[in-house]
Chains A and B, each alone.
Chain A
Amino acid sequence: MTSILEARRLTKRFGEVVALDDLALSIPAGDVFCLLGANGAGKTTTINLFLGFLAPTAGQALVGGLDVAEHPLETKRHLAYIPETVMLYRHLTSLENLDYFASLATGRAFEEDELRAHLATAGLPEDAMARRVGTHSKGMRQKVGIAIALAKGASALLFDEPTSGLDPKASNEFSGLLAMLRERGAAVLMATHDLFRAKESGTHVGIMRRGRLVQTLGTADIGHVDLERLYLDHMRD
């Protein structure tokens, strides 16, 4: 099974500081890989490298088998990025925002029905679709971000701290969305602090520390409490 998201000896140095050291990662379709780690451990750097916002010092980041550095625009066709707070154009509605990003991503125009369908699949309530996003909560914005990913037909999704700031209900809805994405065959890379959600919805977890991926394991192989203990063990000293 070819992996959709792959990192081969991916390294990023900022001057003297090693932000990412020799990362090896392989995420096939249907997998939800959760990157755990403290702030500054290299999670966001990894995501930025996959997005092509940073150029690697060494190694490769591959999306759908294509090297991100060599095919910046091609790789973005298959990627969707959902940052911690999905910032949208305040004065426009969810529909209009989705229309813009999706049409830019796919190069074609969308009918309103299609857009509404994607927003519904992403869990956005009907009455919020035609409202200006300036008043949207974090959870609603995230849903619009996911709708963009759906409309785009992205096979790989990158989440940065998706559940931080979400209330338990919204957090639970997010799990449901992840399941839906998995069913559609997407590969998900998620940078998160949320150990509970990682165990609940993820297929694999990777613990990062000071730019290195120190341990990878399947979530089915460990329980909630043990996961926490394992994480804290790695974070010590």
Chain B
Amino acid sequence: MTDAGIETPTARTVGSLRRVFAFEWRLLRAERAWGVVALLALAVGFAAAHGRSWTAFQQRAILDARAEESARLVALARTLDSVSRDTSTVAPWGDPRYPYTAAQVQARRYAILPPAPLAPLAVGQSDLFPSYFRVGLTSRETFLVNDETVNPAHLAAGPFDLSFVVVLLYPLVVLALGYNLLSAEREAGTLPLLLSQPVALRTVLLGKVALRAAAVVAIAVGLTLGGALVAGVSLGAPGALAAAGAWVAITVAYGLFWLALALLVNVYGGSSATNALALVGTWLAFAVLVPALLNLGVTTLHPAPSRVELMQATREASNAASAKGSAALGVYFQDHPELMRGGTPDVGDFATQTVATAEMVTRAVQPVTQRFEVEIDAQQRLVDRWQWLSPALVTQLALTDLAGTETGRYRDFQRQVDRYSDTLRAFYVPRITRRARFGVADVSAVPAFRYAPPRPRQSGMVATVVLLAGAGLLTWVALRRARRVTAAMA
């Protein structure tokens, strides 16, 4: 009979752990459980290709915009030059020498939101919110077709991007590997023989979990790197590598959370079928139900005022403003005396009147737009607070944040565009009211839009930590409960 030698209990446990780990690897390989991983790889490839083509579409549009703008400005300079030298004529309403016309037609500038390096990995809100605006004088929406041309049915269905694969499909793979980690032994009848060896059930469970955890990490890394490769993410771009690292970290933490959940469910001693149902039910709850219910709650508590209301308020305000007509203009110059040219205002000047009316209308609808901002911010704050109810939601928000395609970034962009619009107005309005001429020199003097990236939120790090903590807690509870499980429980 053999003698194992003098061994400390800890060394013994570690040895057993290693053995269980190695054995589980052999077992899973023999059971051909890796088919699901292959399917996941296919999904990753598909998703990455989608992200790539979508980002390429966006970048093409941005390039077109820039090209159009520079071509237009060059043409404008040429027109101004030739008109000033009387070598050509223009129709009165198209004359760029009037600052108003230049501002509204020829000298319009684009405000562009550049896609972040990781944008191909998560479509997020980039198919719903525009990433470029052509800014004139009166409002930022100067297009006839304002929103990006995406089939609304596709918006409703949701994009098949890498974040979808990570948030919805990857947990299913993790669950497929872990749902029967204990119940399979019980159902196969090998549990009594296993437990009659001098190894604690906790050790066995830890070994099984450790193997699957290694698989989770490997899959997460492969998924991200493979996805980034196929999606054409340039890891050399500033901040890209850090973002990709954060992406991997969140994915790993998310996967480990689901693995811990699978362990906990197994320890409760149900059959494989019951475990599978419980886990899929939990997945559905976290991935679909909780976010939808949260949405319901958020929109009930802080319903955004209807845009219809805003439109009506605007309509009434502009009615009132134009009814006041010259009175409005008079009030306008009282507020901005520095803008008056000479002493007497020329009431018939359409441009000045329009600008004055626009400002009156903006001021009149200010309360309604203010309410919009307040309610939308309140909604966002609620979501930020209650997102922790669902790991799927936490992960999705963190991933889209890393890719630069989440709501906050677009709203920040819109605020920057509004500020830019104010800057443009500050540039043009004095010229309009003073009847200054718009000249060739002014073309390059028009302020350009400069995008200021918002401060990076550490949402990725917080999400990773919280998910890992959750996984740890679940594992601890499961191992404690494992003490009570014996083979006779079958």
Question: Which A positions have Cβ atoms within 8 angstroms of B?
Answer: 48, 51-54, 72-74, 76-77, 79-81, 83, 85-92, 96, 100-101, 103-108, 145, 148, 151-153, 155, 184
Contacts and interface: CB of A to CB of B under 8 A. Distances in A.
A92 B26 CA distance: 9
Interface in B25-44: 26-27, 30-31
B7 interface: yes
B196 A80 contact: yes
Contacts, number: 87
Given A88-B190, A89-B188, A107-B16, A81 B196 contact: yes
Contacts of A148: 193
Interface stretch (B197-205, B356-364, B392-400): B197-205
Given A87-B193, A107-B16, A53 B487 contact: yes
Given A48-B488, A87-B188, A107-B15, A92 B30 contact: yes
Nearest to B15: A107
A88 to B, nearest CB: 6
Contact of A106 (B4, B27, B193, B486): B4
B189 A107 contact: no
Interface centre among B2, B4, B20, B188 (most CB of A within 10 A): B2
A81 B189 CA distance: 13
Nearest to A88: B190
17 contacts: A51-B195, A53-B192, A54-B488, A73-B200, A76-B199, A87-B188, A92-B26, A92-B30, A100-B19, A105-B197, A105-B198, A106-B4, A107-B4, A107-B7, A152-B197, A153-B2, A155-B1
B198 A74 contact: yes
B311 interface: no
B237 to A, nearest CB: 47
Nearest to A82: B193
Interface of B: 1-4, 7, 12, 15-16, 19-20, 23, 26-27, 30-31, 188-190, 192-200, 486-488
Given A74-B198, A87-B193, A104 B19 contact: yes
A83 B193 contact: yes
Nearest to A93: B30
A76 B196 CA distance: 6
Given A53-B487, A83-B193, A96-B26, A103 B31 contact: no
A53 B27 contact: no
A153 B1 contact: yes
B190 A87 contact: yes
Contact of A108 (B4, B23, B487): B4
Given A81-B196, A92-B30, A104-B16, 7 more contacts: A52-B486, A53-B192, A73-B199, A88-B190, A90-B188, A91-B27, A151-B2
Contacts of B15: 107
Contact of B486 (A53, A79, A86, A105): A53
Nearest to B12: A107
Contacts of B488: 48, 53-54
A144 to B, nearest CB: 10
Given A90-B188, A91-B30, A77 B198 contact: yes
Given A91-B27, A100-B23, A51 B4 contact: no
A104 B190 CA distance: 14
A101 B197 contact: yes
A235 to B, nearest CB: 26
B4 A101 contact: no
Contacts of B3: 153
B198 A73 contact: yes
Greatest chain B CB density within 10 A among A92, A100, A107, A155 is at A107
B199 to A, nearest CB: 5
A148 B188 CA distance: 18
A89 B4 contact: no
B261 to A, nearest CB: 25
A92 B27 contact: yes
A85 B189 contact: yes
Contacts of A153: 1-3
A177 B276 CA distance: 43
B2 A106 contact: yes
Contacts of A87: 188-190, 192-193
